[in-house]
Structure 1
């Protein structure tokens, strides 16, 4: 996998449906009905900006409200629904909490099951064959490619999403944020940190940019 995770796939990795979608996109582009750059920008917005903000609110609430965290542990689907985040791809949610001793990471080895209601559209790399296979066999190596280096004695748990269960990683809350309001805490939560391929942002970095 490349460091920027923008994988180029040959057609042998595409399913029959994906090949049909690609052919349809080409046809519509040739006829001038869609503008690929504009479509790419729209998809990127939903992948990295609009969608993950829902999950960031859930994580920030879990960090700051122990009662809410308990509700997530008991029934994540119902607790997330308290925000109004419900619907297709958001059923049967389970949280995986990162701790000092454990780091959690999510993959879908069979296809690309993904909690759209809290993370938006799945990134291209999440659906790629290299990530789906290597995340299970070599999670530490995959994390290193995302720029995440963990202590050797820290356990890495890989959770395999299915049509029945989807996971949301609760990243470790950064130190020095004890008095932060939920709105500010949510700014530290990235999409990758909720998949487990990243960590929450450094508060100092956020403060410096504001």
Structure 2
């Protein structure tokens, strides 16, 4: 396993971490006041946040991955200059100014972590999930990535190497999962439905085409 580390990580990371921490405190205080006054329903707010974390946000990244699966020229561009390739699809902005795409294969599986806080590519993945920000994930993903993957239900062959990338304020990563077998001839929208948020972090795999077929028959 290789653990990517950047010398400048500490300074910039510390700044971003403190900024986000202060903002988080302000948001929580505001939420408490609004809840006490009866202006918001915490349960409804949780549903809204979950929607952006798991449904609306990651759709952008899913479209990027689907295009890389379907278009070899775009895949090559994404590998060379992920920032520009992603921006060409209209996905850019704060927290996604500098992107790098890493591609899973039978020989190597990529996984992303932010060891000091929770740097995350918002333009393509939306809000970071709670587990991504948790101290146990941030620590164990580096020390025992195979064990962490197993807890997510991902059991890789022993021969598959695992590379962990440490996201920073300067550079964030998008994992391009392997395209599932049995999807030849599928359109980009169909392919995008197989791409999960976790698979673009490296904590999961793309959904098999049978999963979509089962949903269509319900």
The two structures share one fold, judged by TM-score above 0.5? yes
Alignment partners' CA distance in 1, 2:98 and 2:143: 26
Partner of residue 74, structure 1: 80
Gapped runs of 5+ residues in structure 1?
1-14
Match of 2:176 among 170, 180, 186: 170
What's the CA shift string for 1:4-30, capped at 9, x where partnerless?
Answer: xxxxxxxxxxx5654454343222211
| Greater mean alpha carbon deviation, residues 132-141 or residues 22-31 | 22-31
Question: How far apart are 1:198 and its partner, in Å?
Answer: 0.4
Partner of residue 85, structure 1: 91
Alignment partners' CA distance in 1, 2:25 and 2:126: 23
Count of residue pairs brought into register by the alignment = 197
Gapped runs of 5+ residues in structure 2?
1-20
What's the CA shift string for 1:29-75, capped at 9, x where partnerless?
Answer: 11212211111111111001111110000000000111001111111
Question: How far apart are 1:110 and its partner, in Å?
Answer: 1.0
Please tell me the root mean square deviation across aligned C-alpha atoms, in Å.
1.4
Partner of residue 105, structure 2: 99
Alignment partners' CA distance in 2, 1:27 and 1:153: 53
Question: Residue 180 of structure 1 aligns to a residue in which SS?
Answer: coil
Match of 1:27 among 9, 33, 39: 33
Partner of residue 50, structure 2: 44
Match of 1:127 among 126, 133, 140: 133
Partner of residue 180, structure 1: 186
| Greater mean alpha carbon deviation, residues 101-110 or residues 23-32 | 23-32
Per the normalisation by structure 2, the TM-score is 0.87
